[in-house]
Structure 1
Amino acid sequence: MSSSLSSTSFDSFGSEDYDDAIESAVVCAITLAMRVAQEEEEEEEEEEERPRFTRRVVLVCRRAEAQENLMRDYFADQPTYTSRQFRQRFRMHKGLFLKIVGGMEREYRYFQQRVNAAGKLGFTALQKCTAAIRQLAYGATSDLLDEYLQMAERT
């Protein structure tokens, strides 16, 4: 009896039906793969249409104003802060600091004031050295001096 059941179930699902089921599954898989590939191509085309480069956000740096503040606070004939306060903040005498600034400006192009790509005058050697030496003196991060020196972290 069991042999008749197995042959009956096999006969009800013959080789033609099996082939049709396989063919149907393959057609579905191919159709799905083609649809996915088409969607990916459309997404790539959309990405290509978008601009790859965006304009930078220009920050308003008041370099000249920051330079005036620095000069008024530490280097004017009658500075806001005393020599003692200068020494506490920079961990050296003002004369030594100015000697370092002069040497850095003479030896390294980075410390020389130049016109930038936007056609604006860049930071002075005094501003750049102030930022660098204060970072070294306090072990602080560069963004700590952003507000006073009006200098971006990248500079």
Structure 2
Amino acid sequence: MNSSDSEEMLMFSSDSSDEEELLLLLAIEEEQATAACRSRQRGSVPGHAVIDRQHRKGAAKLYNDYFVDNPVHGDVLFRRRFRMTRRLFLRIAATVEQHDAWFRQSRDATGKLGLSPLQKMTAAIRQLAYGVNSDSVD
């Protein structure tokens, strides 16, 4: 039942208890619609879409591809992509993470974890290795 049907029924109803029931039903429908809108909206601006970047999945894939004991991509490909050995990369990453708070993983305004230190270092090192801008290594 939409709101115009409810209003028409309200006009033709002569009994006050029927009117009260209809008003109560209208109020319940409006509250349910408002609650549904609130549950969908998770961003800071009502009506704007929230993009879930799934940083954790990307961090896990990066780690499995390059940094586990038996990585998907071996040492030769790692050296080609980053212009250094994995060991040197990890030493640089640990040192940078200690000295610059931006490279540490933190939570954003919504409470979600941001990029991992390895994701941030990978982007930074690839920019330096290839001499390209940040958009090229997204």
* TM-score relative to the length of structure 1: 0.56
After TM superposition, give the deviation of residue 118 of structure 1 in Å.
1.0
Out of 85, 88, 99, the residue aligned to residue 96 of structure 1 is: 88
Q: 2:118 is matched with which residue?
A: 126
Percent identity over the alignment? 44
After TM superposition, give the deviation of residue 89 of structure 1 in Å.
0.4
Q: 2:71 is matched with which residue?
A: 79
Size of the aligned set, in residue pairs, is 93
After TM superposition, give the deviation of residue 57 of structure 1 in Å.
5.0
Query: Which structure 2 residues correspond to residues 37-116 of structure 1 after superposition, within 5 A?
Result: 55=45, 57-116=49-108
Out of 107, 112, 128, the residue aligned to residue 136 of structure 1 is: 128
In structure 2, relative to structure 1, the CA distance for the partners of 1:99 and 1:89 (3 Å cut) is same
Distance 2:70 2:61 in 1: 13
In structure 2, relative to structure 1, the CA distance for the partners of 1:76 and 1:62 (3 Å cut) is same
After TM superposition, give the deviation of residue 66 of structure 1 in Å.
0.5
In structure 2, relative to structure 1, the CA distance for the partners of 1:144 and 1:59 (3 Å cut) is farther
* TM-score relative to the length of structure 2: 0.63
Deviations 1:97-130 (A, max 9, x none): 0001101111111011111111001111111000
Deviations 1:20-54 (A, max 9, x none): xxxxxxxxxxxxxxxxxxxxxxxxxxxxxxxxxx9
What's the Cα RMSD here? 1.6
Which structure is richer in relative contact order (CA contacts within 8 A, separation 6 or more)?
A: 1
Q: 1:15 is matched with which residue?
A: none
Query: Which structure 2 residues correspond to residues 5-20 of structure 1 after superposition, within 5 A?
Result: none
Task: Give ranges in structure 2 of 5+ residues lacking alignment.
Answer: 1-43
Distance 2:97 2:50 in 1: 27
In structure 2, relative to structure 1, the CA distance for the partners of 1:135 and 1:57 (3 Å cut) is farther
